[in-house]
Amino acid sequence: MYSGEQQQKPVTVATLADMKSRGEKIACLTAYDASFATLLDECGVDVVLVGDSLGNVIQGRATTHPVTMNHMVYHTRAVRGGLERAFLIGDMPWMSFRSESAAARNAGRLMAAGASMVKLEGGGYVADVTAHLVERGVPVCGHLGLTPQWVHKFGGFRVQGKTESAAEAMRREALRLQEAGAELLVLECVPAGLAERVSGELAIPTIGIGAGPGCDGQVLVVYDMLGLTPGKRPKFSKDFTGTGGGVRGAVTAYVEAVRQGAFPGAEHSF
Q: What is the C-alpha radius of gyration for the chain, rounded to an integer number of angstroms? A: 17
Q: How far apart are CA 54 and CA 152, in angstroms?
A: 18
Q: How far apart are CA 207 and CA 259, in angstroms?
A: 13
Catalytic annotation present for 188 = yes
End-to-end CA distance of the chain: 28
DSSP β-bridge partners for residue 208 = 187, 218
Maximum Cα interatomic distance, the chain, rounded to a whole number of Å: 48
Among the options 24, 121, 173, 188, which is catalytic?
188
- List Cα–Cα distances, 109 to 51, 54, 92, 163, 212, in angstroms: 15, 18, 10, 38, 33
Q: How far apart are CA 121 and CA 26, in angstroms?
A: 20
> Which residues lie below 8 Å from residue 160, measured CB to CB, with a gap of 6+?
144, 145, 146, 154, 166, 170, 188, 189, 190
Q: How far apart are CA 50 and CA 265, in angstroms?
A: 25
Active-site residue numbers?
A: 188
